[in-house]
Structures are given as structure tokens and as C-alpha cells.
């Protein structure tokens, strides 16, 4: 727990930017019409793929004793994979709605 508090205090500006970006992102997403969610989900899949690759690279270059970096990288990989799979499932379901019924 001390390591986390020390990390946050050393990177206070980055922490503020992360919090601000979270709130701005939530406000932007809430104002998007429902019609645009499927195309944006496809773009989010691509971004999540980049997040997965980046998190894996961070984990590969992290010190084996730095458990915070490894844990955050693992969480980023898991959440990115969940986002990609969910995005493809939603996109596939939306595309099924446009197929002609037999």
C-alpha cells in the first residue's frame, strides 16, 4: 500500500490528467446518439487492441519485482480483451439485424 501512495505522490500530475480524462470521456460518451454506438464500437475495438499490445510490452519490460506494474499491465490486458470480445459480439449482433430473413 505504501508503494501505491508513493507512486501516486510522485506522479501527481499524471494522476490528475487521468481523473480529468475519465470525466471528460464519460461526458463525451453520454452525449453520443444511439445510432453511432456500433461504428464507434468498431473503433474502440481497434483502440483496445493497441491497449492490449501496449500493456503486454509494459509487462515484458517491467522489473519482475515491480508488482504494481505487473498487476496494472495484467488488468489492462484482461479489460482490453473483454472490451474487444464484447465489441465484436455487439457488432456481429447488429450486423445480423441487417441480413435478409429466410
Separation CA 51–CA 32 (nearest Å) = 23
Say whether pTM exceeds 0.75: no
Q: Is residue 49's pLDDT more than 70?
A: yes
* Cβ neighbours of 17 (radius 10 Å): 11
Q: Is residue 92's pLDDT more than 70?
A: yes
Extents of the domains making up the chain: 1-31, 34-97
Separation CA 4–CA 23 (nearest Å) = 22
Q: Is residue 29's pLDDT more than 90?
A: no
Q: Go through 67-90 and write b for each residue having 16 or more CB atoms within 10 A of its CB, e for each that does not.
A: eebeebbeebbeebeebbeebeeb
Quick check: 86 and 45 in contact, CB under 8 A? no
Q: In the chain, how many H helices and how many E strands?
A: 4, 0
Amino acid at each position: 500500500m505504501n508503494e501505491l501512495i508513493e507512486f501516486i505522490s510522485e506522479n501527481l500530475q499524471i494522476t490528475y490528467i487521468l481523473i480529468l480524462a475519465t470525466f471528460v470521456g464519460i461526458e463525451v460518451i453520454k452525449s453520443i446518439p444511439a445510432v453511432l454506438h456500433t461504428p464507434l464500437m468498431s473503433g474502440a475495438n481497434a483502440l483496445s487492441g493497441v491497449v492490449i499490445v501496449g500493456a503486454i510490452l509494459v509487462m515484458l519490460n517491467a522489473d519482475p519485482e515491480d508488482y504494481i506494474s505487473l498487476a496494472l499491465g495484467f488488468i489492462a490486458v484482461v479489460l482490453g480483451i473483454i472490451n474487444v470480445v464484447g465489441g465484436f459480439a455487439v457488432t456481429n449482433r447488429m450486423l445480423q439485424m441487417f441480413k435478409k430473413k429466410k
